[in-house]
Amino acid sequence: MTDRATKEEQLAFLKTEFKDVAALVLTSVQGLNAAEVDALRRKLHDAGVNYRVVKNTLAKKATEGTPLSVMANDFREVTAIAWHKTDPVAPAKAIAEFKKGLEKFKIKAGFQGGNRLSEDGVKALATMPSLPELRAQLLGTINGVTAKMLAQINAPAQHLVGVLQAKHDDDAKKAA
């Protein structure tokens, strides 16, 4: 049993973490052995995702009065929470990737953008590009447009240089 002070400390921690969370995934670690849970924790840590097994009553209290309150009914049995403060797809991606190799691992529900997600919703969210991937795509698009524009601007000058070089080469042959 944990004492009251510890519970209050855990509740305060969860409230602060959940205040402006970008995405959250609830899982069940029931049936997993210690090595599997350690592998999951490592994978989530590498992805920058927070992960914690929580007491359901504390989690329910921590979500009261927040957009996460739609998740209250999902806090039953053994619950673990994976969340990220800024990347809305990181928890879903890491959890879905881990689940591929382990069918007994269960996704209970998810939360993103003020909405509760079912297991299928979490899987769909996991297929979306992450924030760094979206940034790279955007930069690639911007750079592609500018590169094409510069090529179009430089094309007449390149053709002129080619003509001048051919004229120079022709004059050099005639002089020799």
Phi, psi of 106 (to 5 degrees): -115, 135
8-33: average pLDDT: 87
Q: 80 and 53 in contact (C-beta within 8 Å)?
A: yes
Of residues 115 and 2, more confidence is placed in 115
pLDDT at 1 over 60: no
Give the domain ranges of the chain: 4-128, 129-176
130, pLDDT greater than 80: no
For 48-96, write each residue's pLDDT tens digit: 999 998 898 888 998 888 888 888 888 888 889 999 988 888 899 999 9
The rounded distance, in Å, linking the Cα atoms of 161 and 164 is 5
Query: With b meaning 16 or more CB within 10 Å and e meaning fewer, what string describes 12-43?
Result: eebbebbeebbbbbbbbbeebeeebeeebbeb
- Residues above pLDDT 90, as percent of the chain: 16
Segment 131-155, tens digit of pLDDT = 788 889 888 888 888 888 888 888 8
pTM equals 0.71
The yes or no reply on domain 4-128 and CATH 3.40.50.720 is no
